[in-house]
């Protein structure tokens, strides 16, 4: 049976974490900077552990006012320090809860900046590597993040998005643009099926681009996240594709990359 990972950003106060954890295979847990706090991190880790979901850290800009989705012009050293502090916090709580963190995924504007800027991605992933060299990097396929993680010799999980529109260069359409976030259930499901079955993504201009992503991301703060997750799972399973984390059993394919096909 074909398999694919389904990840979601949780611990952000959206109110649907427990239900999403019954569906997803990987949980990107907010580290108290763009959202959440020590209590939500602990609660989310406990729920994920109970439901057998792979856990990862989801650090972003320390900017709760903008939910970490505003690009900030900060010195690289300051961005590195923010990521370092967030990793330290979630690691401390994970250790107390006896939960193994498996990967790191950058959040929001910080992730978008790193997707375009190799030097930034490299500097942030060096922080991750110094913190724990065993942590994999979950990052947008075809982005500078992938190249940076490769250069640092880090494990890689390439991802694509269920509920975001794409530009022709394989990056995400800016949230400032109309149509950047997909809310229509049929469009979201179709995007997931096209990726899982054919390794393809249709851009905002209707162009088909190739993707080797082995993980699909659904935003937990999407107002329709739970309904979308239920229908994504149902449609994938109907197509003979199982939702499963390749990190759950420590599996990584060739060249330290998660690959399902």
- pLDDT at residue 260 is higher than 60: no
DSSP strands (E only) in 83-176: 101-104, 136-140, 156-161
Cross-strand partners of 218: 8
Work out the average pLDDT over 26-55: 97
3-state secondary structure of 23: coil
Q: Scanning the structure block, which residue is given the tokens 């959202």? A: 35
The pLDDT value recorded for residue 9 is: 94
Cα–Cα distance, 120 to 53 (Å, whole number)? 30
DSSP structure class, residue 178: T
Q: Where are the alpha helices (DSSP H) in 132-261?
A: 144-151, 185-198, 225-238
Q: Are 248 and 25 in contact (CB under 8 A)?
A: yes
- The overall average pLDDT reported for the chain is 93
Q: pTM for the full model?
A: 0.94
Q: How confident is the model at residue 250 (pLDDT cuts 50, 70, 90)?
A: low
Least confident of 198-207, 236-245, 252-261: 252-261
Greater model confidence, 249 or 94: 94
The pLDDT value recorded for residue 251 is: 57
- pLDDT at residue 132 is higher than 60: yes
Question: What are the structural domains, with CATH classification, of the chain?
Answer: 2-256 (3.20.20.370)
The pLDDT value recorded for residue 43 is: 97
Write out pLDDT tens, residues 90-100: 999 999 999 99
Cross-strand partners of 209: 201
The pLDDT value recorded for residue 261 is: 42
Work out the average pLDDT over 42-69: 97
Write out pLDDT tens, residues 105-122: 999 999 999 999 999 999
Cβ burial 168-197 (10 Å sphere, 16+ → b, else e): eebbbbeeeeeebbbeebeebbebbbbbbe
The pLDDT value recorded for residue 252 is: 58
Sign of the Cα pseudo-torsion (123, 126, 128, 130, in order): negative
């Amino acid at each position: 049976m074909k398999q694919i990972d389904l990840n979601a950003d949780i611990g952000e106060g959206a109110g649907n974490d427990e239900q999403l954890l019954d569906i997803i295979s990987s949980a990107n847990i907010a580290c108290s900077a763009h959202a959440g706090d020590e209590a939500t991190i602990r609660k989310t880790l406990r729920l994920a552990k109970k439901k057998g979901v792979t856990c990862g850290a989801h650090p972003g800009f320390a900017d709760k006012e903008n939910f970490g989705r505003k690009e900030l012009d900060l010195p690289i050293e300051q961005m590195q320090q923010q990521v370092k502090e967030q990793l330290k916090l979630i690691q401390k709580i994970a250790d107390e809860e006896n939960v193994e963190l498996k990967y790191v995924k950058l959040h929001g504007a910080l992730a978008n900046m790193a997707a375009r800027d190799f030097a930034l991605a490299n500097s942030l992933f060096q922080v991750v590597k110094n913190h724990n060299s065993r942590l994999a990097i979950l990052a947008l396929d075809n982005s500078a993040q992938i190249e940076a993680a490769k250069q640092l010799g880090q494990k890689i999980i390439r991802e694509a998005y269920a509920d975001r529109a794409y530009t022709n260069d394989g990056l995400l359409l800016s949230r400032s643009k109309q149509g950047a976030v997909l809310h229509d259930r049929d469009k979201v499901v179709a995007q997931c099926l096209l990726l899982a079955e054919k390794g393809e993504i249709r851009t905002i201009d209707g162009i088909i681009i190739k993707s080797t992503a082995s993980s699909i991301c659904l935003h937990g703060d999407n107002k329709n996240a739970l309904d979308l997750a239920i229908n994504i799972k149902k449609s994938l399973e109907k197509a003979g594709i199982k939702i499963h984390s390749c990190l759950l059993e420590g599996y990584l394919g060739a060249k330290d990359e998660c690959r399902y096909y």
